Structure 1
Amino acid sequence: MFGRRWLEMTWQDGCFLHWAVNPDLVAGTLPERLSVATHNGQAYLGVVPFVMSDIRPRGSPIGLSFPELNLRTYVDGPNGPGVYFYNLDAADRLGVAVARRLFALPYYRARMDVTRENGAVRFKSDRRHRGAPSARFDATYEPVGDAFVPEPGSLPAFLVENYRFYAAGNRLYCGEIAHEPWTLREARVDLRRNDLFETNGFEKPADKPIVHYAEPIDVTADRIRRA
């Protein structure tokens, strides 16, 4: 059950980029107690750039904002289905340090730049974390379709309607979030560089991704706990 809603924030300028992969390729990368979740027999790897805006303890008038970029897949775990993160690159030195120190989560400090022009978003990331492998990302994405809310059971719902996440640091951790259902738009992307697959031990995909632009959404989050 979702506990005390500890943090409030808005997620904006988000894009979901997904590639279908063989479940066996994902299974070998997961920690104990997690198993691959599939849709019509396929596992998925997702790259998600977005901006976490106005992050603050619930009730506080003061917040901070920074971009984040993650590589993820979808799993079943001891607390239920959710997202498993391979990396969380962020342009926030303090937040990265706290997450790594307290939970050994796969956060990495990166230099990021997000610009907006004529409805398109350009998102650039260059990991600058000492001792970690380099990872660069550079893409421009923009919505091209009508807004829709994913139908339950559909592939878009499988890919985005996840309210629990797992990360394996010094042990398996779980966190929960809450928000209204996503409003998505089909989108196009100019993906100039994406090192996240190779950095995390996956081959670079040859096919084009499934792309969804995400409308801004207000989110509350519980504390991260042991799974």
Structure 2
Amino acid sequence: MLGHRWLEMTWRDALFLHWPVAPAVVAETLPDGVSVATHDGDAYLSVVAFVMADIRPRGVPLGLSFPELNLRTYVEGPDGPGVYFYNLDADDRVGVAVARRLFALPYYRATMEVTHERGEAPAGDDAVRFVSRRTHPGVSSARFDATYEPTGPPFTADSGSLDSFLVENYRFYADGTRLYRGEIDHDPWRLREGAADVRVNTLFEANGFESRTEAPIVRYAEPIAVSADRIRRA
């Protein structure tokens, strides 16, 4: 649990795409003090797309909302296990500028559109289309275009399972002017198996990885209330 909840928000329309990779592929990209975390011998790279809704300081009734798209992996760090972010693309000019100016974190401005469409799965839920185009000057371009939807009933990940390893993470690391970490708090994710039509995804190439051609593990997540602490030096 967090000692101080600085921000509160709701995450919705969340898509997780997970690809297993050899640990060496990840290890050579990590900064000092951070090492690869594995599950059954595999490291993972994950693309995560979602909407951060009603982001506000604790006690404030209204807040900002914008989409975010990131590429991450799973690590052991100086303050414990967590995720490591290679990029955090966001459709929020002010937030991106502050994160880059104060911490030199890998936030990049992007133009994003998130829309709901009639789904095709038997569950009858809406499908989500998430389109992102990085517009940040002076960095590698990155694009993402996918439509996704849930295809199964909600479940929570069992302790020790692959799903738990991939989503039940409450600490993150990012390499800026130095290594930083942040802490979040929320109930366990309510996941659903999902289907995704990924038309464009250049996040791997933008971060120096080879593109992935094999089908990923797809998870859709139901909306969840999240609290976040301040970003601190690791």
Question: Given the two structures, how large is their TM-score scaled by the length of structure 2?
Answer: 0.96
The alpha-carbon deviation at position 3 of structure 1 amounts to 2.5
Partner of 1:202: 209
Partner of 2:63: 63
| RMSD of equivalent CA atoms | 0.7
User: C-alpha deviations, 1:168-207, integer Å up to 9, x for none?
Assistant: 0010000000000000000000000000000000001121
CA distance in 2, matches of 1:224, 1:3: 13
2:220 to 213, 223, 227: 213
SS at match of 2:97: helix
Pair 1:22-2:29 in alignment? no
CA distance in 2, matches of 1:203, 1:15: 21
Q: Where does structure 1 lack aligned partners over 5 or more consecutive residues?
A: none
CA distance in 2, matches of 1:147, 1:35: 32
CA distance in 2, matches of 1:173, 1:3: 17
Pair 1:193-2:209 in alignment? no
Pair 1:2-2:9 in alignment? no
Amino acid at match of 2:54: D
Pair 1:95-2:95 in alignment? yes
CA distance in 2, matches of 1:117, 1:65: 20
The alpha-carbon deviation at position 146 of structure 1 amounts to 1.0
Partner of 1:162: 169
User: C-alpha deviations, 1:7-58, integer Å up to 9, x for none?
Assistant: 0000000000000000000000000000000000000000000000000000
Number of residue equivalences: 227
Amino acid at match of 1:24: A
SS at match of 1:100: helix
Partner of 1:80: 80
Amino acid at match of 2:21: V
Partner of 1:181: 188
Partner of 2:138: 131
Shift >6 Å, 4+ stretches = none
CA distance in 2, matches of 1:53, 1:61: 12
User: C-alpha deviations, 1:109-150, integer Å up to 9, x for none?
Assistant: 000000001210000000000111110000000000111000
Q: Where does structure 2 lack aligned partners over 5 or more consecutive residues?
A: 119-125
CA distance in 2, matches of 1:61, 1:185: 30
SS at match of 1:202: coil
CA distance in 1, matches of 2:148, 2:117: 11
CA distance in 2, matches of 1:157, 1:194: 25
Pair 1:223-2:230 in alignment? yes
State the identity as a percent: 71
CA distance in 2, matches of 1:117, 1:25: 36
Partner of 1:143: 150
Question: Given the two structures, how large is their TM-score scaled by the length of structure 1?
Answer: 0.99
The alpha-carbon deviation at position 72 of structure 1 amounts to 0.1
CA distance in 1, matches of 2:212, 2:112: 24
Amino acid at match of 1:84: Y
